[in-house]
Amino acid sequence: MATKTEDYLGITDYKVIGTRPIRHDGVDKVVGRAKYGADIDMAGMLHGAVARSPHAHARIKSLDTRKAEALPGVKAVIAVADLPLQEDKIEELGEGAANLQHLRANVLADGKVLYHGHAIAAVAATDVHTAQEAVDLIEIEYEVLQPVLTVREAMQADAPLLLEDLTTQSLGEDSEKKSNVCTHFRHELGDIEKGFAEADLVIEREFFTATVHQGYIEPQNATALWGADGQITVWCSTQGAFDVRAQTAQILEVPVSQVKVVPMEIGGGFGGKIRIYLEPLAAILSKKTGRPVKMVMSRTEVLQATGPTAGSVIRCKMGVDKAGNLIAAQADMRYESGSFPGSWAAPGAMCIFAPYNIPHVLIDGYEVLVNKPWTMAYRAPGATNAAFASETLIDELCEQLGVDPLAFRLKNSAKEGTRRADGPVYPRIGHEQCVETARDSEHYATQFNGKNRGRGVASGFWFNVGLKSSAAASVNPDGTVSLVEGSTDIGGTRTSIAMQLAEVLGIGAEEVKPQVVDTDSVGETDVTGGSRTTFATGWAAYQCALDIKAQMIERAAKLWEIAVDDVVFEDGYFSSSDASKTISFKELAGRLDETGGPLMGRATVNPPGVGGAFAVMIADVEVDTDTGKVEILRVSMIQDAGKAIHPSYVEGQMQGGTAQGIGWALNEEYAYNADGLLTNASLLDYRMPTCLDLPMIETHIVEVPNPGHPYGVRGVGEVPIVPPVAAVANAIYDAIGVRLTILPMSPGEILKALWTKNGTT
């Protein structure tokens, strides 16, 4: 992420950036007209349904679909044999790479089911109820195997193997050892033994975090039409239309140009809507029937078979000297990968000690198969688990040293030039400024006392990503600009992208008409993920505007019959050294026909200057020691946005991340029984925060410009989920004097910890 380029323009008098225009897609979304994936309907459309495993780990002995096929209204039934075989090959899939054979075996189980809810077969029928009835008629015989549900079980020498040919990739080499451990990696900085020897105070603890789900309100869906000309169209709700195109084309073994993905409005993703699940099933069912096929998951299917993100076991050890300097830090991070390789220990390891300057660091990471769904990214994936461990230990170090936890964080803060344990040296970053803002806040200055009440703070880091983005724009005769881009809009990014184009052209945000278009209508654009959209697609829009500006200058020169060099563009006006020659952007837009015809700008970018993001949270809680319930009374999220293009939507990301983090801290978990069956696959039992569980969420936007972006933008979407879990844990400690090391910190865990402390049971 370190970059030598200084792309930041240093503008201080923005006209559009930093304002809060109403989002372009807003009206459609408040009147119910916006079309999400499940809203699709078309002539002759069939409805699909999926047969899923009732077991966590089993061999499929036989599969008989004859009764299902015989049901009136059923048009096609498919199983894994209908999917082309895949090479044993790793491909990039947006946020994380995956083996194509694993992607195929996740879409439809291949001989073995690896989690409760694993897809086995799919049906298309004239209506959804008939499709469901047909699913119930599919006869499957299993040889049930022992499930492996925790990292600890999975790593034991005699553990049942999920993927029988899998060997551990250890420190970059194939160990050739068959195991449930997919990967072991290590980051080293300095000399860890020397570091701990020099430390005056060392604390070590082990932390457990539950498997949690992204919890988007809109279930996965896909509608496909395999045309008689061989062209496949997929309509779906996804974070990355081009990623769906690439994966679907791979799984169907067709060229990408044969697949067009139309991204519908998307009802939340948070990292969970990048991998394909239903898309190839709908496509093959369409090919078999010659009709469009729509598939929508139920909430149970969403929880059983998509996402979730990794549960983890993290052993963490940190040492300080008497003066309060962090000397050494060590972590052993074991993350569930779920049923297939590809987990989140690696990004977690990039973040765990990232806010600090620590001379001696050793991090070992493991990604481990368990009989749970294949894990997916979830908002700063891996980092929240990691911060729970490191930020709790820091709180404990501060307590024992008798120092203020924000003062300690400021003293030990990473800054420009600090090397992170996984290698990068920071360019300009804003952790210190976030800590200072927290320290100086009215919230922190206000005493918070009372029985069973406590305050906690925590820092968090997420590195953000760049990747590919494209944009094209055409100037309309009325002076507006139509912008097409490929980033699906999950939280107002049409507007934050359009604003960056408007700023260059000196027009209003409302004079840009942004559209998210299909994969045949814009250049390749990577996922809405990695906090990259406003950064990278915004940059594409900025470049696109520069292209338009240059062409408009040529048109002005032509109009005035003067040299291009004699035309300047400022504040929305073209002018020349001849003071009589001045024309507004809008007026010139109306004269394009007489100066050469229509005008379009275009840009594709893959910006290297990604700016890492830091956040700090302050949480005030009250614990009911009779019930174990934790009440969140006040929270503040402080975050470095680099530059907040649209502050309302930056605040929205901060507030949303905070809320998700609080849910992760207190309530959310996948509850499996001993047979490996998910027992809480509903939104009643998988308990996400309601508005009654939360107070207002105070936000402080810090702006330390990212040197790697023209407007200084850093990504904002992910980092706010990183500090909350640890901040709440530290607040609970402050309130009742017990250190919680297990997530979620549910009433039961709180009471257990209190009883242990008090010597009662």
Q: Which residues bind another protein (CB under 8 A)?
A: 20, 22-23, 25-27, 29-36, 38-39, 41, 129, 214-219, 265-270, 296, 298-299, 490-492, 646, 648-649, 651-653, 655-660, 682-684, 688-692, 694, 696-697
CA distances, 83 to each of 86, 106, 222, 531, 701 (Å): 9, 11, 17, 33, 49
CB of 62 to another protein, least distance (A): 30
Residue 144 burial (10 A CB sphere; 0-12, 13-18, 19+): middle
- Residue 89 or 129: the one with the smaller Cβ distance to another protein is 129
- Residue 340 or 649: the one with the smaller Cβ distance to another protein is 649
Distance CA 280, CA 247 (A): 9
CB of 251 to another protein, least distance (A): 26
* Contact by Cβ (8 Å): 266, 37: yes
* Contact by Cβ (8 Å): 354, 612: yes
CB of 653 to another protein, least distance (A): 8
CB of 25 to another protein, least distance (A): 8
Quote the tokens at residue 353: 């000690």
Residue 299 burial (10 A CB sphere; 0-12, 13-18, 19+): middle
CB of 438 to another protein, least distance (A): 18
Among the listed residues 759, 758, 735, the one whose alpha carbon sits nearest the alpha carbon of residue 629: 735
- Residue 12 or 690: the one with the smaller Cβ distance to another protein is 690
CB of 179 to another protein, least distance (A): 36
- Residue 237 or 741: the one with the smaller Cβ distance to another protein is 237
CB of 651 to another protein, least distance (A): 8
Residues in a beta bridge with 79: 121
Residue 198 burial (10 A CB sphere; 0-12, 13-18, 19+): middle
- Residue 699 or 746: the one with the smaller Cβ distance to another protein is 699
CB of 104 to another protein, least distance (A): 29
507: helix, strand or coil: coil
Distance CA 435, CA 615 (A): 8
CB of 565 to another protein, least distance (A): 43
Neighbours of 213 (CB within 10 A): 25
CB of 698 to another protein, least distance (A): 9
CB of 685 to another protein, least distance (A): 9
- Residue 28 or 571: the one with the smaller Cβ distance to another protein is 28
**678 HSE (CA, 13 A, CB side):** 32
* Contact by Cβ (8 Å): 499, 21: yes
CB of 694 to another protein, least distance (A): 6
- DSSP annotation of 344: S
Quote the tokens at residue 739: 């250190």
- Residue 114 or 498: the one with the smaller Cβ distance to another protein is 498
CB of 5 to another protein, least distance (A): 32
CB of 731 to another protein, least distance (A): 17
* Contact by Cβ (8 Å): 38, 221: yes
- Residue 147 or 514: the one with the smaller Cβ distance to another protein is 514
CB of 654 to another protein, least distance (A): 8
389: helix, strand or coil: helix
307: helix, strand or coil: coil
Residues in a beta bridge with 605: 469
- Residue 26 or 479: the one with the smaller Cβ distance to another protein is 26
Interior/surface letters 262-297, b for 16+ CB within 10 angstroms, e for the rest = bbbbbbbbbbbbbbbbbbbbbbbbbbbbebbbbbbb
Output the CA torsion 144→146→151→152 (10° steps): 180
- Residue 697 or 702: the one with the smaller Cβ distance to another protein is 697
**483 HSE (CA, 13 A, CB side):** 36
Q: Where in 476-537 does DSSP place strands (E)?
A: 481-485, 512-516
- Residue 110 or 485: the one with the smaller Cβ distance to another protein is 485
- Residue 114 or 659: the one with the smaller Cβ distance to another protein is 659
Helices marked H in 508-567: 538-560
Distance CA 294, CA 46 (A): 6
**745 HSE (CA, 13 A, CB side):** 31
* Contact by Cβ (8 Å): 632, 695: yes
- Residue 273 or 420: the one with the smaller Cβ distance to another protein is 273
CB of 281 to another protein, least distance (A): 19
Distance CA 183, CA 168 (A): 5
Quote the tokens at residue 20: 């809060």
Among the listed residues 179, 175, 176, the one whose alpha carbon sits nearest the alpha carbon of residue 161: 179
Neighbours of 191 (CB within 10 A): 14
Distance CA 194, CA 567 (A): 64
- Quote the Cα angle for 672-749-718, to 5°: 75
* Contact by Cβ (8 Å): 486, 523: yes
Distance CA 729, CA 752 (A): 15
